[in-house]
Each structure stands twice: as structure tokens, then as C-alpha cells.
Amino acid sequence: MNLDLTSKTAVVTGASRGIGLATVRTLMAEGVRVVGAARNITPELKETGARAVSADLSTADGVATLMDIALAELGGIDLLVNNVGGGDDVQPVGFLDIDDTQWARIFDVNLLSAVRASRAALPSLVERRGAIVNVSSINSRLPAAGPVAYSAAKAALAALGKSLAEEFGPRGVRVNTVSPGVVRTAIWEDPDGFGGKVAASAGAEHAAFLQQIPQAFAITTGRITEPEEVAALIAFLLSDVAGNITGADYVIDGGTVKTL
């Protein structure tokens, strides 16, 4: 399928690894000029050929720096992927163990980064009749499946996408959400990441825990999702092939969510 994205411009947040890195690679392969942002720039992001920008997107100043650079480098923004998320900062703890500082940090990274980036990009997106994809999580639909603050932030991000789609759709901007389940990224595979912490809290060995995830999460396909699969869905939703899709939330989780 020809997505006809050649010569488009895009900003991808959380671009140094995982879903963000896979999205940068996919868009670059489609001929898109990409600015990829992350707090720490990895060699893998540099190797894509995208313009890499180091910025702390949990802060207003970090987002402003990114968007100023992106607009100057690209001359305008056609596509925005709000992918940055706070998986590294999320702890497998209960509601009473999360203080105000942690709540604020999680919302800054998972929600307000998208609010700020979208606000800065929308004048250009309106002018170019562009598109936004926000990367949420199935935790927005299964809040019991993860830490409460993270789940609440991702639910708010999905609601933000609906609101932006409604407000800016008549002005030519489409906004959609992608909600992955477990994806093969460092969040789960790094022994020091969220997955490692969950395994440790359960008294399980990390490698054995990873192998049991499809069964433990009742994943219908029997495997977790690859970052490239999420990236392909994002690229499709950004393209004019999906020209009449807006305000939608696409779950990509191998059948983890069983409800309508």
C-alpha cells in the first residue's frame, strides 16, 4: 500500500527507542522528513538520519525548545506523533504509595507533553491540513492492569485526542489514538525497567516472567506486539489513506482487551 507520505514533515516524541524509534524509521522509509525528540539521544536514533533533538518533554521549556527547532528545520509540520511516555518512571505500587510529586511527573510526561506539543504544532497542522497520532495504552481501558496514575494519564490522553479531533476536524486536522498492549521494548525487557520491577515484586526471575507474559495477560495471539507493528499502524493513521478516520482509538494488543 502506498501511503503517499513522501515530502511530508513530522515530529515524533520519545523517539530514541521502542515505538518512537520504530515510528521514526517507518516514516523515514516512507520519505518523510522527521525531527525525533528524546531526553537522551541514542546512536540508533542518530543512525535513522532524522534530526535528533535532546529535550526533556516533561517540561514546558523542553517542548518549546523542540517545537521551535522543528518548525525552523522543517519549515512547517504536517504530522505529529505524541509518543513520549513515562514507563521508566512508573513503579508497580499501589495508590497510597504515589505522592503528589509522582502524580504530577506522570501527568507531565504522559499527558501535558502532548498538550504542549499539539498546541505548538496546531497552527501549522491547520495550515497544512495535517494529522496527529497520540500513543496511549490499553491501561486507559484496563485501569486495574497497571499503576493508577499512569492509567489515569493515558485515559486522559485518549480523551484529549477525541476533543482535538472534534474541535480541529472541521479545520482539516485529523487526530487519532493508538493504544498498545505489551510491546517488546525496554520498558518490559530491561531488568531495571518496569517489567523487571514487576518481576521482582512478584518474586519471579525476569527472563521467566517475560516468557509468561502472553499467558499471564491472556493475549489471544500468544505473543507480545513488536514496535514495528505499532509504527505501521501509526503511519497508516497519519496518511491520507486513512483520510476519513478521526477521533478513533485503535487498540493493538494481540487480543488482550476482551470487552467491547
Active site residues: 150
CB 216 within 8 A of CB 49: no
- Nearest CA to 221 out of 252, 198, 178 is that of 252
Q: Cβ contacts of residue 170 below 8 Å, gap of 6+?
A: none
CA 109 – CA 115 distance, rounded (Å): 10
The DSSP annotation for 156-185 comes to HHHHHHHHHHHHHGGGT-EEEEEEE-SBSS
Q: Which long-range contacts (CB under 8 A, 24 or more apart) does 183-187 make?
A: 183/18, 183/19, 183/224, 183/225, 183/226, 183/227, 183/230, 184/224, 184/225, 184/226, 184/227, 185/17, 185/18, 185/19, 185/87, 185/227, 186/17, 186/18, 187/18, 187/87, 187/88
